[in-house]
Amino acid sequence: MSHLLQLNDVSVIFEGKTDGVKHTIPAMVDVNLSFDSGEIVALVGESGCGKTTLGKVLTGLQKPTKGELFYKGKNVWSMNKAEFAEYRSSVQLVQQDSYAALNPAKTIFQSLSAPILQNKIVKGKKAAHEKVCELLRTVELTPPEQFLEKYPHQLSGGQRQRVLMARAISLNPKLIVADEPVSMVDVSLRLSILNLMAKLNKEMGIAFVYITHDLATARYIAKNGRLAVMYLGKIVELGSVRNVLAAPRHPYLQALLTAVPVPDPKVAKGKRELPLKSLEMPSISNPPSGCAFNPRCPYADETCVLVQPKLDFHGDDLVACHHAERIPEWKLVTLAK
Amino acid sequence: QSGKDGKRETVWRQSGGWPKPPLFQGNNFANGGVGAAYPFVFEGLFQNVRFTDKQYFRLAESLEHQGNKTIVKIKPGVKWQDGEPFTSKDVWAYYTLNNGAEVTKYLESVEAVDELTIVFNWRNPSPAEHMKQLFIGQDGHGTIPYHLYHKYVDKAAELLKKAKPFTEPNKEGPFGLEIKDEIREAMDENWRDFLKAGPNFPVGTGPFMVKKVTSSDMLLEKNPNYWNVENIHFDKITIKNPGPDPSAGFALVRSGNVDWFDGTPPRDIIESILKLNKDIAHYKMLDPASVGMVFNLDRPPFDNKDFRKAIVYALDRKKIREIGNYYGQESDVSMAGMPQSEFDNWITPEIRNQMEKFTYNPEKAAEILTNLGWTKGSNGVWRDPEGKVHEFIIGVNGGWQNGPIPGQVAAEQLTEFGLPTKLIAVDGTVYFDNAAKDKGKYDMSMDWVDVSWGFMFPWNSMRNYYWWGLGQMGHLPRYESGEKQNRLNLHLPGPDGKVIDIDQMLRDIPYMNSVEEQKEALSKLAWITNENAMGMVLFQNVTGAWANLKTVKGWPRADEIEKYDRDMPVTTVREDLQEVADLNQGFSGITPFVEGRYAPR
Amino acid sequence: MTVKIVLKRVGTAAITIVLATVLTFLLLRLTPGNAIDQWAREYSIQYNISLTDAYERIARMINYNPLEPIYRQFVRYVSGLAHGNLGYSMVNQGLSVNEIIAKALPWTLFVSSVSLLISFVVGIFLGVKMAWKRNSILEPIVSLYSVVTNAVPDFIFAIILLIIFAYGLGWFPINGAYDFYLTPGFNLPFLLSVVYYASLPILTYVITLIGGWALMMKGSAIGVLGEDYVEAARARGISESRIMDRYVKKNAIIPLVTQLAVALGAMLGGAILIENLFQYPGIGYYMAEATKQRDYTVMQGILLFIAITMVVANLISDLIYSKLDPRIKVEE
Amino acid sequence: MQRTVDFFKIICGNRRSLVGLIILIFFFLMATVGPFIFKLDMGVDYENRYSGPTWDHWLGTDYGGRDTWTQLVHGSKEVITIGFLTAVITMIFGSLLGMISGLIGGKVDTGIMLITNLFLTIPSFPIFIMLAAILSIRDPISFALVLSAWSWPGLTRAVRSQVISLKERDFIVICRVMNLSLPHIVFKELMPNIVSYLAINFVLIMRGAIVGSVGLMMLGLAPYSPTNWGQMLSLAISQTGGIFNPNGYIYVLSPIVCLALFQLGAIFFANGLDEALNPRLRGNA
Amino acid sequence: MEENLVEIRNLSVEFKLKRGTIRAVDNVSLDIPKGKVTALVGESGSGKSTLASAILKMVSSPGVISNGSINMNGENILKMKQRALQQYRWSNVSMVFQAAQNSLNPVVKIKEQFIETYLAHKKAPEKEILAKAAQLLEYVRLEPKRVFESYPHELSGGMKQRVMIAFSLLLDPDLVILDEPTTALDVITQDYIFDILLKIHEELAITMLLLSHDISVVAKVADRIGVMYAGKLVEVGDIFEIFTNSKHPYTAGLIKAAPSLLEDLEHTVPIGGSPPDLLNLPSGCAFHPRCQFAKDICKQVTPPMEDVGENHLTACHLHHAVEMGSVN
Ligand SMILES: Nc1ncnc2c1ncn2[C@@H]1O[C@H](COP(=O)(O)OP(=O)(O)OP(=O)(O)O)[C@@H](O)[C@H]1O
Ligand SMILES: Nc1ncnc2c1ncn2[C@@H]1O[C@H](COP(=O)(O)OP(=O)(O)OP(=O)(O)O)[C@@H](O)[C@H]1O
Ligand SMILES: [Mg+2]
Ligand SMILES: [Mg+2]
Ligand code: NI
C-alpha cells in the first residue's frame, strides 16, 4: 500500500546571492521520507538546516529541484487538476508566526470563511458561519461568537495559533505540517497548543508533521510517533521517538540532546561537556565534503571527510553515519548523575 | 559717480531685454539680436518714426530722387565703433547679404558709386517717391560692417551674380532675380555661417558701444567717434532686464531705478505708482495697432457677412476696453484695415460718411440674427435656421499679454448674448497653425489687427490683413491654380457699387504717384473691410512710457506735466504727438538722444 | 561590495541613460509647434515683411529641417553624444548645449547646493531636537511649519518673497546673479554679491525644504531612538550628548543622505519656475527659454543632462549609502 | 457598514484628521454645490473694481469689478476636478503596473522597473510643459492626462515594493495551500492591505496635481480659464498688477489661501487616513 | 545570611498609555545576593525586563518609577543625579540585553564601541583599553583581532552575544544583568554560552541577574530564583527549594509545564487559561482565573509576600493549605 505522502530522493537547491556572487544553497539533499495516515512525525534540527523547506515541499509550496513527491502514490507535480485540488486540501500548513499568518486587515471570520466557501465545503454565509463556529469550538476558542469579528491583533498569541489550527483543519485535511507552531507562543501556553494538536490527531485522525528545534516538545507530542533529525539539509537519523531518544546514534543528535536544558536543577547543574569539536555551524551554501558534520564531530576520520554516509538501518532506526556502530552509547539517563 | 577727469559721469538708466549670455552675441541678425542695445548701437541711413511716418536723417547726409535712381550721400566722417570708416560699400554689403529686405523687391541694384555715395536703382515701374523713402527708411544699414563680414558678403554677391533675371511671375526674388534652389541653398548656408561669425559684442555706428552684458544688466559707453557726439549728453547707458514679469519692471519704475520705462499698465497701477513716486511721469501714446479679432470665413456661419455684423453689434467694446486697456481708443467700425486714429488722414470724408457705424447695439444684432432665420430659445440661446446651437471658439495666443483678458470678456459677452462662446488660449508656437491651417480651429482669432508697424502708411496694415498672416487666419479666398496661384481672390463691390479686385488694388497702391489717388484707393478698401465685417477691432492700443523727471530733462510736453499731475493723456496735437512718439524707442529709435533733447539734470 | 556590482550598477545606469536619450528625443519630436512659427511672426513684424517671407527666412536661418527623416536626426544626435556633445542650439547659431550648461550649471548648482545644505543642516538639527524632546513646544511649531510649507508650492513663496523683499522693501535685487559692476572672479566683493543676489532664491528653497528634512529626520531619529543600541548605550553610561551625536544622528542621517542626492537632482529639474521668477540664469531658466522657442536640440540636451545627473546622483547615493551604512550590502 | 462607521469614528477621533476632513468637505461642497448657489457673473463692472469685502462681495472684486468669491467657487470645481481625475488616472495606471510588476516578477518586473526608473530620472516639470503642448490641454481630462503622465512611476514603485513585501508574507503563502484563487488573493487578501496606502497616495497625488496644474497655469500653458485658481493668481500678479494695488490684495491672496488650505486639508486628512485604515494602528477597539 | 548586593524595596513601575495605566512592576521587593546567580522567570510581559531596567534607572518612556527604592552598596540608585548615574551604569551594573543582537551601534566598529564605553567612565590609553577588551574577548573564545575590526552585522548571532558578554565585563561591574541572553540562539549555542557565563561567574565571582522565561535554562544556571507574574514577584527562593517545594501554584505550574527529555510525559501538565491583560488585571491574586485551587479570597485580596521557609517567600493565600507537589 502506498503511503499518504512520500518524498522520493527530494532535493531543493536555491540560488542565492551574497555580495552579488551567485551560489547555490542546497536546502534539502536527497531526502527520502514517508508519512502515513494518522501518525505524528517530529522533524528537528538547528536553525537553517532546511526544516521549513521540507515543510514547503510537503505542502506543495516548493517544487523540488530533484526527486518526487507522492500523494497517495501519485506524483504531485504531474497530477491533473482534480487530483491536485484533493492533494491541496488534504495537506495543510500551520505556520510559525501566527501574527504574520493572518491577514491583518481581515476579521477572524473573514479569514476562516474564505477557504471553506471557495473550496465549496459549505455554501452560503449562514452555513459558513455555522462551520466557522464549529471550527472555533474544536480548537477550544469558546464562545466562538466572541472571536468572529475580531482582528488578529486583538487576539493573544495562543489564541491566534488556535485560529491557525482551525483554519488548517477547515478543509478536512489528512495531514498537517506544523512548522514551529509554538516557538513564538508563551511558555505557559505551549503545552496546551501541543495538546490540541494531539487531540486533533487522535480524534480526527489527522497526521501531523511537527517541525521544531525543540527536542523536548518534539518528544512530548510525538511520543508514539517518529522522529527525524536534520542536519544541513540531510536527514541524519530517523526512527521512533522512543528508540531514537533512548539510544541516539548520530553524534550530532547526541550533541543536541546534551545541550537541551533540563527543567531540573539537580540534573541541569551536573557538569557535561558538549561532544563537539567546534561550535561554528558550517554555512549551508558551502557544506563540508563527505559527512557534513565531520568538522564538528569528535569521532570523524578520513572517511567522514571523503565519503557521504548513507541513511542506513542500525537496529530499528535509520542513521547516516559511517561509525554508527562504533560510537559510544549515549543515554539520556546518564545525564542524571 | 565721477569719471577720470573729475567730471560727473552721466548715466541713462532704462530697462529692456536681450538674450541672456551665453545666448547673447554681437550679430544683430542672429536669434534675438542684441535686444535693447539695438537702437543705441545700430542705425540706418534714415530713421522712420513708426506712428507719424516722419523720417529723420541719420547716416545719410542727403537724398535725391532722379527718376529710377535714388541717390543717397553718407555723412562724411562716420565711423564704425571699431574705428573703421562707414562707407557706401557697407550699405551695398547690407543689401547684398541681407537680400531679403523688403526694398530689394523693388530694386534692380544697389551701387556704391564712391566712398560716400550710394545709388538705389529702382525697377521699372518704380514706387512713388514717398514710398521709396519709407522702404529705404525701414532698414538698419549700419549693421553689416563689410570689413568684418566681407567673406560672407562677397560670397553672397557672387551667388547673386549667378542668378538670372526672373521670367515666371511667381519666381520673383530680390533685385528682380530668380533664385534657383541650389543658389538658395548656398545662400542659406552662407547666411548661417554669417550668423555664427560673431563678434561677441556688436559693432555698429551708433552713439553707444556695448561694454558688458550679464543676464540682468547691460552696460553701454559713449562712442567717442560718433558723428554727432557733441549732442550726446550721456556717458553711459545701463539697461536692466526685469524679465517677462511686468511686476518686476514696475518695481524698478516705482523705486526710481530707471530713467525711462516702456509701456502702459492698467490704470490702477499707473495711479498707484505715480502716487508713490512723485518724480515720475507717465506718457501715453497711440499705437498704430489694435487689439481685435478676425473672423474665419471658412467656418459657417462666419461665412455670412450679416452674421459677422451681428457679432460686432453684440459686443460692448467699452467694457472690453476698460479692462483690456483702459486708455485704448474705441472704434466705431468693425475693422477698417487701418487704425481708427488714421481715418481722418486717409479716408475721404464722403466715404467715411458712408461707412456703417458699429456701436454696441444688441437689439440690432438680435434683429439681424432673426432676419437670418435664427431663433432665440427660452433659455436665451440662439439657434441657427436648422435649429442647431453653436459653440463658438475665440482663439488667442496665451502668451500674448494684451489678448486673453479682452478675449475672455468678449467670449463672456457673446455667451451672455445667447451665442455660447469659449476662449481658448494656446501656446504661441501653435497658435498660428491652429488658426490658419486647413479650415482653422477657431471661429474668431485674436491678434493685433489694423497693425502698421514699420511705417504708418495704411497700405502697410491693409496688406497685413489681405495678404499676410491675418488674412490667413481669416481664411480669405485665394486662387487655387493658374498664374495667380495663392494670390488673394477677393472681388467685392466698393462704396460706389463697382466691384474691386482687392489684390490688384493693393498691388497698385505703391506705384500711385499722387497721395490723393492713394487716399481714394485706401478709402475704398477701408469701406469694403468695414462693410464686410472681416474682423472686429476691440480697441486701438495705447502704449506709453514712464519718465523720470528728477534725473533727466528734455521730456516732451514739459509745460503740461504739472497740469496733468504727471499722468499725461494721449495727445492729438501734431507736434506733441511727434515728440511723444519719439519717446518710444520702438517707434523712433533713440532720436531724442541723437538730437540732444535728453540730458541729465 | 565588489567591483562587479559597481559595474553592474553602472551598466543599469547606462541603460537608463540610453533609454532616456531615446525618450527625450521622441517626446520632443512629438511636440507640436516649432521653432519657426512664433519667431517668424515676430520677425515679420520687426522687418515688415510678409509672414511667408519671414517664415522662409527663419526656416533658412535655423539648423533644423523638419523633413529630414527622424532616424537621421537621431543618428546625428547620438553621434554627437558619443563625443560628449549634447548638441547645438538650432535657434542660436553655433551655440552648443554644452556651452549653455557650462554657463548655467554653476548658478543652479550653487543655489541648489547651498539651499540644500542649509535646509539639510537646519532640518536635521530640528528633527533630532524634536525626536529627542518629544513634548517640547518645538514639535507642534515645526510640524505646523512643515505642513504649511509643504502645502504652499514653492513658487508661491518665491512670489511672496519677491513682492515683499524685492519689489516692496527693495532690500534685495529683483533679479540677476551678481552685481553688474563687479568683475567676476575670485574676489570678496564679487563673492559677496553672488551670495546677496542668490539670497531670495536660496531663501525660497530653504523655507520650503526645511520642513521636509525636519520631519524626515524626526521620523528617522524616532526610529533610531527606539533601537536597542541606543538604550544599550545609555546603559553603558555614555553621555546623552554623545548618544545624540554618535548614535542617533549618525544612524538617523543615513537614510536621509540618499535623499539628498535625489533632492539635488530634483532641484535641477524643478528649477524652472523658481529661476524664471527670479530671472536667475541657471539651468531651469535656459530650459524655459528653449521651451518657449521650441529649441528642440537645447531642450533635449538639457533634459538629457538632467536625466544623466539624476541617474548619476542616484548611483552615487546608492554607493555612498553602502559606505555610510555598513549593514547595507549593495545588492541587485 | 460597521466599518464605515468605525472609519469615521476614527477620523473624527483624531483632531488633525478631523480638521482635514472638514476642510476637504468644505472644498468638496464648494466644488459641487457651490456653483449652483453662487452664480458666476463675469460681466465687467469697471467702476467697482478692486472693491473691498462687502455683503454683496464677500471677498471683494477683481480688476474687472467681478466678485472674487464666486470666481473662487467656480474655480474650485475645475481645480478639484483636475486633481481628482489626475489621482484616478495615476492610481489606476500606477497601481496596476505596480501590482503586475510585484506579483509576476522576473523579466516583466525588470522591464517595468527599468521604465519606471527612467521616468523618475527625467524631471517632471519640463515634461509637463512639453506634454501640455503635445496633448494641447483643452479640458480637465486632458489636463489630468498630462499631469498623470509623469506621476505614476512613483506610485508604481511604491505599490510594487508593497506587493513584494506582502506576497512573501505568511498569510498570502497560506492562501495557496488553502487552494484559494488568484483573484481572491489579489482582491481579497492583497488589496485590503494596500488600500490604505493607496488612499493616502490618492490624496497626496491629488494635492501634487493641483500644485502642478497651478504651475502650468502660471506659465500660461494650460487653457485660459479665468476662474482657475492658478490663472487667478497669474492674472493677479503679472497681468493686472494686483500686487501694486493695495485694494487688490484680497484678490491676490484668496487663491493662495485657498490653495494652501486645500493642501493643508489633504495632508491632515491623509495623516488621519493612515491611522484609520491601518488596523495595526487602530488599537484594541 | 548572605550579603545582599542589591536590595529592591516596594518597587513599582508604571506605563501611562492612552488606554490606561500598566503597572509593569508592581510593588516588588527583591534581594540580589552577592556572588550568586539570581534568576527571574515569568512569562512574556510579566515585567522582568522592566524590573531590570529599573535597576539601571533606565525605564523607557512612557514608563515611570512610581514608587520604591533600589539600594546598591548602600546607595539609593533612584535618587542619583544624571552624572553619577552615568558613572554608575556599566561600571557598577552592566547588562546583556534581550536583543543583544541589536544592542551594538551598527555603524561603528566594535573596537571603537569598546573604547568609547571605557572612556565614558575612566581615562586610559587606547592600547590599554584594547588589551583589556582583547582579554575579555578571548575569555568568551572569540578572536579579538577579527572582532575589533568588524561591524556588528559582520558577526553571527552567537558571536554578537558573546561580544556583549565580554562587553558587559569591560568595567569589572559588581552586577551583570542577563536579559534572556540566548532567546534567539539555538540550543547548542545556548548551552555553550551558559557554560561561558557560569565559568565567568565562578572565576570572577561576579554577581548575576538572569532573566528568562525558560525554567529549564534557569535550572541549569541559577542559585536563586524569583518568579514574576503580571508585574508581581510571586515567589522567590533557593533554586532547589523552589523546584522541589514550590509554594505558589504558578511556579508549580511552570515547572510542570516544561516538557523535558527525562520526565515521565504524564507529569507534564499545561497551565490553563491565557496570560493576564495588564490593562485589565483580575482582582485579588492576578493568577486566580488560571489557578485550579483558587478560593474566594483569591478573587478579593491580593496576597502579600510571606516567608515560607529559609530564604523562601511566596505570595499565595493557599501556601499553607495546599501542598502543590502532590497535586496532580
Ligand atoms: N527562497 C529561498 N531562496 C534562497 N534561499 C532560501 C530560500 N528559502 C530558504 N533558503 C535557505 O535555505 C536554508 C534552509 O532554510 P529553512 O527555512 O528551510 O531552514 P529552517 O530549518 O526552517 O530554519 P529555521 O529553524 O530558522 O526556521 C537556509 O539557509 C535559507 O537561507
Ligand atoms: N516602553 C513601554 N511602553 C509601554 N509599555 C511597556 C513598555 N515597556 C514595557 N511595557 C509593558 O510592560 C509590561 C512588562 O514588560 P517587560 O518587557 O518588562 O516584560 P518581560 O517580562 O521582560 O517580557 P518578555 O519576556 O517578553 O521580555 C508589558 O506588558 C509591556 O507591554
Ligand atoms: Mg523554519
Ligand atoms: Mg523582557
Ligand atoms: Ni554560584
Asked whether the beta carbons of B458 and B342 are under 8 A apart, the reply is: yes
Residue A52 Cβ contacting ligand 1 at under 6 Å: yes
Asked whether the beta carbons of C285 and C275 are under 8 A apart, the reply is: yes
DSSP H or E segment with residue A229: strand A226-231
User: How far, in Å, CA of E116 to CA of B279, rounded?
Assistant: 71
Q: Given this model, what pLDDT does residue E224 score?
A: 92
Find residue B111's DSSP bridge partners: B119
Q: What number of C-beta contacts closer than 8 Å exist between A and D?
A: 69
Nearest CA of chain A to the CA of C1: how many Å? 6
pTM greater than 0.90 (yes/no): no
Asked whether the beta carbons of E95 and C235 are under 8 A apart, the reply is: yes
Which ligand ends up closest to the CA of E203? 5
Q: What is the whole-number distance in angstroms between the Cα of residue E61 and the centre of ligand 2? A: 11
User: How far, in Å, CA of B492 to CA of E150, rounded?
Assistant: 96
User: pLDDT digits over A165-190, tens only?
Assistant: 999 999 999 999 999 888 878 777 88
Whether E188 and A46 lie within 8 Å, measured CB to CB: yes
Q: What is the whole-number distance in angstroms between the Cα of residue E280 and the centre of ligand 1? A: 40
Long-range CB pairs of D128-131 (<8 Å, 24+ gap) are D128/D212, D128/D215, D128/D216, D128/D221, D129/C272, D129/C288, D129/C291, D129/D216, D129/D219, D129/D221, D130/C27, D130/C28, D130/C31, D130/C291, D130/C299, D131/C27
> Which of D44, D51, D227 is most worth mutating to test chain B (most B CB atoms within 10 A of its CB)?
D44
- Residue whose grid cell is 533540563: A262
B573, burial (CB in 10 Å: exposed 0-12, middle 13-18, buried 19+): exposed
* φ, ψ at C321 (rounded to 5°): -55, -45
Closest of B85, B118, B52, B84 to residue B591, by C-alpha: B52
Maximum mean pLDDT: which of B161-170, C39-48, E314-323: B161-170
User: How far, in Å, CA of E221 to CA of B455, rounded?
Assistant: 108
* φ, ψ at C178 (rounded to 5°): -165, 165
Model confidence band, residue E323 (pLDDT cutoffs 50, 70, 90): low
Q: Is C193 on the interface with E (CB under 8 A)?
A: no
Which ligand ends up closest to the CA of C226? 2
User: pLDDT digits over A82-136, tens only?
Assistant: 899 999 989 999 988 888 888 888 889 999 999 999 888 888 889 999 999 999 9
Q: What is the whole-number distance in angstroms between the Cα of residue E98 and the centre of ligand 4? A: 6
User: Given a cut of 50, is residue C234 above it in pLDDT?
Assistant: yes
User: How far, in Å, CA of B512 to CA of B508, rounded?
Assistant: 7
Maximum mean pLDDT: which of A31-40, C126-135, D56-65, E97-106: A31-40
Q: What is the DSSP letter of B231?
A: G
User: Given a cut of 80, is residue A30 above it in pLDDT?
Assistant: yes
Q: Given this model, what pLDDT does residue E325 score?
A: 46
By three-state DSSP, how is residue B534 classified?
coil
Q: Is D179 on the interface with E (CB under 8 A)?
A: no
Q: Given this model, what pLDDT does residue B6 score?
A: 55
Q: Three cell numbers at B344?
A: 481722418
Find residue E232's DSSP bridge partners: E229
- Residue whose grid cell is 562504533: A326
Q: What is the DSSP letter of A56?
A: H
CA A57 to chain centre: 11
Model confidence band, residue D275 (pLDDT cutoffs 50, 70, 90): low
Asked whether the beta carbons of A321 and A309 are under 8 A apart, the reply is: yes
* Facing residue for C327 by CB, picked from E98, E153, E167: E153
Q: What is the rounded average pLDDT for all residues in chain C?
A: 82
Q: Given this model, what pLDDT does residue B233 score?
A: 92
Nearest CA of chain E to the CA of A75: how many Å? 35
- Residue whose grid cell is 512613483: D154
- Which of ligand 1's atoms lies nearest the C-alpha of A49? 21
Q: Is B273 on the interface with D (CB under 8 A)?
A: yes
Kindly report the protein residue whose alpha carbon is nearest to atom 8 of ligand 1: A53
Nearest CA of chain E to the CA of D159: how many Å? 29
Q: Which residues of A touch C1 (CB under 8 A)?
A: 19-20
User: How far, in Å, CA of E106 to CA of B252, rounded?
Assistant: 57
Q: What is the whole-number distance in angstroms between the Cα of residue A193 and the centre of ligand 4? A: 23
Q: What percent of chain D has pLDDT over 90?
A: 4
Nearest CA of chain C to the CA of D97: how many Å? 19
D and C touch per CB criterion (3+ pairs under 8 A): yes
What residue type is assigned to position B288 of the chain?
P
Whether A17 and C4 lie within 8 Å, measured CB to CB: no
Q: Is E35 left (phi over 0), alpha (psi -120 to 50) or beta?
A: left
Whether D130 and C20 lie within 8 Å, measured CB to CB: no
- Residue whose grid cell is 484680497: D250
b/e map B498-536, b = 16+ CB within 10 Å:
eebebbebbeebbebeeeeebbebbbbbbbbbbbbbbbb
User: pLDDT digits over D134-165, tens only?
Assistant: 666 667 888 888 888 888 888 898 888 888 88
* Mean pLDDT value across residues D15-21: 83
User: How far, in Å, CA of B326 to CA of B320, rounded?
Assistant: 9
User: How far, in Å, CA of D234 to CA of D213, rounded?
Assistant: 12
Q: Which residues of D touch C20 (CB under 8 A)?
A: 118, 121-122
Q: What is the rounded average pLDDT for all residues in chain B?
A: 91
Q: What is the rounded average pLDDT for all residues in chain E?
A: 86
Q: Given this model, what pLDDT does residue B325 score?
A: 92
Whether C329 and A21 lie within 8 Å, measured CB to CB: no
CA distances from D214 to A8, D131, D197 (A): 67, 15, 26
Asked whether the beta carbons of E117 and C237 are under 8 A apart, the reply is: yes
Q: Is D179 on the interface with C (CB under 8 A)?
A: no
User: pLDDT digits over B51-91, tens only?
Assistant: 888 899 999 999 999 989 999 999 999 999 999 999 999 99
C309, burial (CB in 10 Å: exposed 0-12, middle 13-18, buried 19+): buried
Antiparallel, parallel or unpaired: β A317-319 and A91-94: unpaired
Model confidence band, residue E39 (pLDDT cutoffs 50, 70, 90): very high
Kindly report the protein residue whose alpha carbon is nearest to atom 30 of ligand 1: A48
User: Given a cut of 50, is residue C332 above it in pLDDT?
Assistant: no
Residue A174 Cβ contacting ligand 1 at under 6 Å: no
Which ligand ends up closest to the CA of E45? 2
Whether A88 and D179 lie within 8 Å, measured CB to CB: yes
Nearest CA of chain D to the CA of C262: how many Å? 9
Q: Three cell numbers at B169?
A: 511671375
Whether C307 and D125 lie within 8 Å, measured CB to CB: no
Whether C1 and A19 lie within 8 Å, measured CB to CB: yes
* Cis status, amide bond into E173, omega within 30 of 0: no
Asked whether the beta carbons of B528 and B502 are under 8 A apart, the reply is: yes
Asked whether the beta carbons of D21 and D203 are under 8 A apart, the reply is: no
Q: Given this model, what pLDDT does residue B494 score?
A: 93
Q: Given this model, what pLDDT does residue B7 score?
A: 65
Q: Is E19 on the interface with D (CB under 8 A)?
A: yes
Q: Is A18 on the interface with C (CB under 8 A)?
A: yes
Nearest CA of chain B to the CA of D44: how many Å? 6
Q: Is D285 on the interface with E (CB under 8 A)?
A: no
Which ligand ends up closest to the CA of A187? 2
User: pLDDT digits over B184-198, tens only?
Assistant: 889 988 988 898 887
For ligand 3, an ion, list residues with CB under 5 A: A 52
B and E touch per CB criterion (3+ pairs under 8 A): no
Q: Which residues of A touch E259 (CB under 8 A)?
A: 190-191, 194, 216-217, 219-220
* Mean pLDDT value across residues C1-24: 81
**Among A68-77, A243-252, B143-152, C310-319, which stretch is predicted with the lowest mean pLDDT?**
C310-319
Q: Tell me the longest C-alpha to C-alpha distance in chain D.
A: 78
- The distance in angstroms from the start CA to the end CA of chain D is 16
> Which of D177, D186, D193, D195 is most worth mutating to test chain A (most A CB atoms within 10 A of its CB)?
D177
User: Given a cut of 50, is residue D105 above it in pLDDT?
Assistant: yes
Ligand 2 pocket at CB < 6 A = E 15, 17, 22, 24, 42, 44-50, 60, 62-63, 98, 213, 278
Q: How many CB atoms lie within 10 A of CB D18?
A: 16
Q: Is A223 on the interface with E (CB under 8 A)?
A: yes
User: pLDDT digits over C174-184, tens only?
Assistant: 888 888 778 88
CA distances from C165 to B497, C316, D8, E59, E143 (A): 65, 38, 45, 51, 65
* Mean pLDDT value across residues B97-114: 90
ipTM of the complex: 0.80
B and A touch per CB criterion (3+ pairs under 8 A): no
Model confidence band, residue D276 (pLDDT cutoffs 50, 70, 90): low
Chains that touch C (3 or more CB pairs under 8 A): A, B, D, E
Kindly report the protein residue whose alpha carbon is nearest to atom 16 of ligand 1: A50
User: How far, in Å, CA of B582 to CA of B555, rounded?
Assistant: 10
Q: Given this model, what pLDDT does residue B93 score?
A: 95
Q: How many CB atoms lie within 10 A of CB E166?
A: 27
Residue A213 Cβ contacting ligand 1 at under 6 Å: yes
**Closest residue of chain A to C1, computed from CA coordinates:** A19
What residue type is assigned to position C199 of the chain?
S
Chains that touch A (3 or more CB pairs under 8 A): C, D, E
Q: Given this model, what pLDDT does residue B91 score?
A: 95
User: How far, in Å, CA of B166 to CA of B177, rounded?
Assistant: 5
Which residues have a Cβ under 8 Å from the Cβ of B439 and sit 6 or more positions away?
B296, B298, B299, B475
Whether D223 and B396 lie within 8 Å, measured CB to CB: no
Q: What percent of chain C has pLDDT over 90?
A: 6
Antiparallel, parallel or unpaired: β B46-48 and B11-15: unpaired
* Cis status, amide bond into B242, omega within 30 of 0: no
Asked whether the beta carbons of B266 and B590 are under 8 A apart, the reply is: no
The 3-class SS string of C258-313 reads HHHHHHHHHHHHHHHHHHHHCCCCCHHHHHHHHHHHCCHHHHHHHHHHHHHHHHHH
Which residues have a Cβ under 8 Å from the Cβ of C220 and sit 6 or more positions away?
C127, C252, C253, C255, C256
Q: Three cell numbers at A115?
A: 477557504
Model confidence band, residue C238 (pLDDT cutoffs 50, 70, 90): confident
* φ, ψ at B227 (rounded to 5°): -65, -20
Nearest CA of chain E to the CA of A91: how many Å? 28
